[in-house]
Amino acid sequence: MIGLLAAVALLLAFLAYAPKLNKNGISVQYSGDTENKETRVIHKGDFSIQAPQGWATSENFPGVLMMISNAGEIVEDPAAKKAGLKSYFTVGYDSMEGRKWEEYVDNIKVEGKIAVPNLSFKPDRKIKINDREATILEADGQQDDLKMKILVALIPDKDNGAWNIVFNMPIEKWPEYEDVFNETINSFQAK
């Protein structure tokens, strides 16, 4: 649960400051981690994912395995500009703590509403990501004048855990990034 909660909490952290890219665009690496600049596929620990064109890995926050942001993004929304919010996504891993899948998904929504009280979830979507059943959560939220879109791909793991890919963006960017979200989550592979 810590990974997803940390990812949702990142939204709040972004309200304080924008992510800083390392000079080479790579966050702290584990042994064997690689990033192929041509294909944009990042191999990190037990997973790999393809970064969207022009996005780069950023410094991680505690509880998050990887963070990728669109540092060059031009944001028009005044509240998002003021907050320094640019679109980003994180990859994390949670223990389901012995819960059944639907209980876990429902708990994620409850925890999300604790982090962002006026978060409004749309109906869950079920999809397959590389032969794994997954649940997609889509929510809109607002903090002060800042309107945001949060998308979460929850992918069960064989060890009673769940991978989570969390996208946060100013709501104005959703039409531009809907395809990016789908391409990115479909590129996810876990060992």
Percentage of the chain beyond pLDDT 90 is: 46
Range list of H helices, 96-142: 101-115
What integer pLDDT is reported at residue 86 of this predicted model?
A: 86
For 78-90, letters b (16+ CB in 10 Å) and e give: ebbeebebbbbbb
* Residue recorded with tokens 């909490």: 9
Instruction: Identify the DSSP state of 27.
Output: -
Report the first-to-last Cα separation within the chain, whole angstroms: 20
Question: What domains, with CATH codes, occur in the chain?
Answer: 2-190 (3.40.1000.10)
Residue 105 pLDDT exceeds 60: yes
Q: Which DSSP string do the residues of 32-45 spell out, in sequence order?
A: T-EE-TTT-EEEET
What integer pLDDT is reported at residue 130 of this predicted model?
A: 87
Convert the pLDDT of each residue in 138-188 to its tens digit: 999 988 888 999 999 999 998 889 999 999 999 989 999 999 999 999 999
* Residue recorded with tokens 């929304």: 77
- Give the residue among 4, 8, 58, 52 at the shortest CA–CA distance from 28: 58
Backbone angles phi, psi at 161, to 5 degrees: -130, 180
Answer for the pair 138, 112: CB distance below 8 angstroms, yes or no: no
CA 38, chain centre distance (Å): 22
Convert the pLDDT of each residue in 114-145 to its tens digit: 988 889 999 999 999 988 999 999 999 988 88
Residue 97 pLDDT exceeds 50: yes
Answer for the pair 107, 95: CB distance below 8 angstroms, yes or no: no
pTM to 2 decimal places: 0.80
Backbone angles phi, psi at 98, to 5 degrees: 75, 5
